[in-house]
Structure 1
Amino acid sequence: MIDQKLLSILVCPVTKAPLDYVEETQELVCVASALAYPIRDGIPVMLESEARQLTIEEKEMYQQKH
């Protein structure tokens, strides 16, 4: 679980858009950049080089949640 206060101030380093926490995958997802940033040992890894690209299906699913 990620602290909600921390989540409220974190943004995507690429687009500066807000992030959504996905507990199942332990990732912070940015729909705008279609990137998912990993959380390792409770620490968000906010490096574009460490992020994975969302699939088209994932991006559509996250867009529908908003």
Structure 2
Amino acid sequence: MQKDFVKFENVYKRYKMGEVTITAADGVSFSIDEGEFAVVVGLSGAGKTTVLNILGGIDSC
């Protein structure tokens, strides 16, 4: 049995712009096992870069 190398559970990221709140990631959950290859795909504005920035430690949730 492989261990989770990366695990996201119910991750949210919201940005506040004045009185408007933008939800960039809404309950994202996934795991990547050690040695696995993963691809992030989605429409423009879906939150792919936000999730990768959180994963890389550039941003926080």
TM-score by length of 1: 0.28
Pair member with larger Rg: 2
**Which structure is richer in relative contact order (CA contacts within 8 A, separation 6 or more)?**
2
